[in-house]
Structure 1
């Protein structure tokens, strides 16, 4: 039974990669060029505050007068779940939407969530396509080779996943929810992230170390990603952004995270980061862009104060 499950996982990984491998990367590159030119011509196309205010009023009309904090979570959960009408697979979310528009900065670049390093989105699209090509070849080799025992096959698959990483970070690591859809492809917790920072974070929960203060100009530890220590991770950048994305995930998928991982989430820390680091124009742009793609919004970007009022169910 376990052998069949492993083969099924291997085949799923291969099929997912094959779909991306056969896509025309030039279309994504052309979309980046078009979107960059549009926002350089008119920043209102990047984020239109007046139009977004109208969208927000309409979207939250069904929960506008709820004053009961006990039932606040249930009402907002139902809203973000019901309106999540377009549930897009991960590779489509990443390749067609995240890099080309959703995670774009006002200047047309993209920024790695933990390091703050800016890159040309065309560069990371090309890097990811090369990674897809290599992973596709590795998984094809595993499918063709029938001699591997189960344990060895598991190790080979894990090695491929750890060696060939994309420029994308799941704020809630895939291992926490078994890498299943629609969580895997939900744009609200997908961010551009250079592979070395993805590796540094691993699948560790966030923490705030006494010995590390990346916001201070006097901080000596500057590794451009953050610090991993004793199975916890503190990012150098993007704390407020990451906190609001994880709070969204907890609201949208309250039962999705496996218990060993959910027990490690420091909810108080997420709420603190949400309060300490203000919502950015980039987050507002993302939220509106994802709203137009998926149909749902992140309430903690629209109303950050909700995080302190809501009773999360984890």
Structure 2
């Protein structure tokens, strides 16, 4: 694993604020960029299915930079023995938490008996959690929905949580929407089912010894902080990806860290050596730089910066220099804006 020499010591694990696991988004390259912006936020990997962890290219699937800590891995699966073995592998890689996905509604995931479909089988999920917890000392957590299809009342959710509690799970992340398993795409399942935050509140009230993390529809820090009186933590998804500078206020406003917010240009300059190291490893710049497209959102010159990356980062002969060129365009626009 690569280590950034100038990185401060890792922050302690806290679930007060985290970035949700998102397929194709929360790659190691995005996580490194996010860590340059926020020291305290808990980062999650994309979901990795247990058989892939056991039989696949582990370094490609699980490798990360030590600067990414605190870092959790999300596993998908429904076989206790497979999940236990995968949990052992992830623990050996040094992850700070192992999370079980019981919330993804996609057809492909359902066919593998993974994700939200498992809410209907709390006994099986409990066996998985018990097996994972027995295999490692790393905390095992669960991410779930409030219900599925027409099984969407509080009694259904309460039954699921009771099984997780009995299995020894002490931290649950609740996406406060039900999942509709047939007829809606994963994207529609993030928007169409209504948010019912009160369900997560009710779980916390009835199970005060459990850590309850709220997920779903959280977009601005001012608005989301009000939930912390009812739950223990907040998990943000696409807002953190589409507008990564949103994270710049998290350490100060959510965790109470002293000092000013980070400098956006300084973050970009710190990302460049990482890009160069990844390039030296054989990773094409397009895979890294796609995560930096929105870094300068709403800043003068952002359009020219994004256009340059979009038109040039994917070229076969692209090098890290394309990022330097984009930053130079940004600088030129900033100077022009200041002079006007």
Instruction: Name the TM tier (shorter chain).
Output: under 0.3
Which structure shows the higher helix fraction? 1
Q: Greater RCO between the two (CA within 8 Å, min separation 6)? A: 1
> Normalising to structure 1: TM-score of the pair?
0.27
